[in-house]
Amino acid sequence: MTGSIAILGYGLATLGPGIGIGILIGKTQEATARQPEVASKLFTNMILGVAFVEVLGLIGFVLALIK
């Protein structure tokens, strides 16, 4: 078997952000359906949350490349 175990680690590191973004967007859609008048505030908060969650994936990618 050739390759680096870091690549496997990166693959596992993408699971958390992927699940997190899915939950975040799903809950935002539920809240928008219940209260459409606050959709713009929810969208702003969702974008910030997605950015923070995505940073976790990027950190996993960088750590896999550093090795």
Share of the chain above pLDDT 70, in %: 91
Indicate whether 2 pLDDT > 70. Answer: no
Stretch 45-51: mean pLDDT, rounded?
A: 92
Q: Which pLDDT score is estimated for 28?
A: 94
Taking residue 15's Cβ as centre, other Cβ atoms within 10 Å add up to 11
Rounded CA gap, 18 and 4, in Å?
Answer: 22
What's the pTM? 0.73
- Give yes or no for a contact between 6 and 63, defined as CB atoms under 8 angstroms apart: yes
Q: Which one-letter DSSP state was computed for residue 3?
A: S
The band of 3, judged by pLDDT with boundaries at 50, 70 and 90, is low
